[in-house]
Amino acid sequence: MTHFIRYALATLALCATAVQAAVEVAGVRFDDRVTVDAQQIELNGAGLRTRFAFKVYAIGLYLPSRSQSAEAIQTAPGAKRIRIVLLRDVAADTFADALIDGLKKNHSAEQFAALQKATDQLRATLLELGEARAGTVVELDALADGSTRLSVNAQPRGTDIAEPAFYPALLRIWLGEHPVDGDLKRALLGQAG
Tens digits of residue pLDDT in 123-181: 999 999 888 899 999 999 999 999 999 999 999 999 999 999 999 999 999 999 999 99
| Any domain includes 4 | no
- Contact call for residues 112 and 166 (beta carbons, < 8 A): no
The mean per-residue pLDDT over the stretch 8-14 comes to 44
| Any domain includes 60 | yes
| Any domain includes 16 | no
pLDDT band of residue 193 (cuts 50, 70, 90) is: low
The structure's pTM equals: 0.86
| Any domain includes 5 | no
**Number of CB atoms found within 10 A of residue 66's CB:** 15
Classify the C-alpha dihedral 161-138-49-39 as positive or negative: negative
- Contact call for residues 166 and 120 (beta carbons, < 8 A): no
| Any domain includes 193 | no
Residue 131: per-residue pLDDT: 87
Residue 53: per-residue pLDDT: 85
59-86 per-position pLDDT tens digit: 999 999 999 999 999 999 999 999 999 9
C-alpha of 136 from chain center? 13
Domains of the chain: total: 1
Range of the domain at 61: 24-188
38-49 per-position pLDDT tens digit: 999 999 999 999
Strands (E), 27-76: 28-30, 33-36, 39-51, 54-63
Residue 21: per-residue pLDDT: 63
Residue 8: per-residue pLDDT: 42
Which domain CATH number covers 109?
A: 3.50.70.10
